[in-house]
Amino acid sequence: MQLLSLSYKPWHWIAVLPDRQDLVILGEPVALEAGRLQASLVATPGLDLTLSRIHAAGSDIRLRGAGWQIGLAELRGALRQAAARLDAQELALELTDLAPDRGLMARLPAATELPDTISNIRIGLELGLNAPLDRHALAAPPQIADIVLREVRLTWGRLEIDATGRLHPDATGHAEGRIELRMRHWRLALEVAVAGGWLHPDIARTWAEVMGGLAPGEADGWLLLPLDFRKGRVSLGPLPLGPAPVLRPLF
């Protein structure tokens, strides 16, 4: 990996990553290959070197694990100080032409008629922190104060999903708040969840009955579903989903 900095601007760093890396993610070896993968970091001049912004970009990315592989045509991401809040960072991420594992595609019913790639995933959020991101952050990691989802959108053929909402940590650090989730062709989303092994077929049938009751006759239209995070649990409308994620610590 190359780490570069300009002599007249030592608070601006550029990282160029190699085209092949071997990682361990959650205990599993993963190979990362990319035609291009680089990032830049700009700090505010001063002794604390407070983060100003980070940009990352990549193309022709491939991730391979034990028995699975996904591809990505292009990645763009940015993190910067929020304009309206000194205690918050704005995060933007966009993935273009994400190719799911072929095993997942083979398990999908032919009637789904989904393309081989997810054309676009966009994430835009505001991350509130109780301390700045600066050179002291590793010794005393900032904690998440709140997360504001401005935009989360997935477009995969006929399937569209988007979400907005706000979360904050409760007294135990679990996420608390509400996210409005919208799905178009929600029955198709259930089929994908079952094919991916993320949802048991019996549970999927129960969900289909409940979701059909919330939007009768609208299987091909938009369905609005509230994700409620309370008392350490998360539910999708009337359906319990399990424990809520922990928002603390950040590192």
DSSP per-residue string spanning 69-125: EEEEEEEEEEEEE-SS-TTEEEEEEEEEEEE--HHHHHHS-GGG---SSEEEEEEEE
Residues 106 and 221 in one domain: yes
Residues 77 and 94 in one domain: no
Q: What is the pLDDT of residue 85?
A: 84
User: Could you identify the residue written with the tokens 């100080």?
Assistant: 81
Residues 135 and 77 in one domain: no
Q: Residue 183 CB: number of other CB atoms within 10 A?
A: 22
Q: What is the pLDDT of residue 240?
A: 83
Closest CA to 192 of 76, 89, 106, 82: 106
Predicted confidence (pLDDT) per residue in 110-167, tens digit: 878 899 999 999 999 999 999 989 999 888 889 999 999 999 999 999 999 999 999 9
Mean pLDDT of all residues in 180-208? 88
Residues 114 and 163 in one domain: yes
Closest CA to 98 of 85, 81, 114, 113: 114
Q: What is the pLDDT of residue 174?
A: 94
**Domain hosting residue 28, numbered range:** 1-81
Residue 159 near residue 134, CB atoms below 8 Å: no
Residues 198 and 246 in one domain: yes
Mean pLDDT of all residues in 174-189? 92
Q: What is the pLDDT of residue 216?
A: 58
Question: How confident is residue 219, by pLDDT bands cut at 50, 70 and 90?
Answer: low
| Residue 176, phi then psi, degrees to nearest 5 | -135, 140
Predicted confidence (pLDDT) per residue in 71-106, tens digit: 999 999 999 989 888 889 999 999 999 999 999 899
Higher pLDDT, 251 or 19: 19
176: helix, strand or coil: strand
Detail the DSSP E strand segments found in 100-250: 118-129, 144-156, 159-169, 175-184, 222-230, 233-236, 239-243
The residues facing 123 across adjacent strands are 93, 152
Q: What is the pLDDT of residue 249?
A: 62
pLDDT surpasses 90 at 204? no
User: Domain end: 81, 114, 136, which one?
Assistant: 81
Q: Which of 17-31, 114-128, 198-212 has the lowest mean pLDDT?
A: 198-212
Residues 92 and 165 in one domain: yes
Domain count along the chain:
2
Residues 147 and 190 in one domain: yes
Residue type, 246: V
Residues 160 and 193 in one domain: yes
Tokens at 12, concatenated: 């601006």
Cα dist from 39 to 35, 93, 225, 231, whole Å: 14, 13, 36, 38
Residues 60 and 176 in one domain: no
User: Domain end: 81, 110, 140, which one?
Assistant: 81
Mean pLDDT of all residues in 214-232? 79
User: Domain end: 56, 81, 106, which one?
Assistant: 81
Q: What is the pLDDT of residue 186?
A: 87
Q: What is the pLDDT of residue 217?
A: 57
Residues 113 and 135 in one domain: yes
Residues 37 and 154 in one domain: no
Residues 15 and 109 in one domain: no
pTM summary value: 0.87
Closest CA to 92 of 107, 106, 82, 104: 82
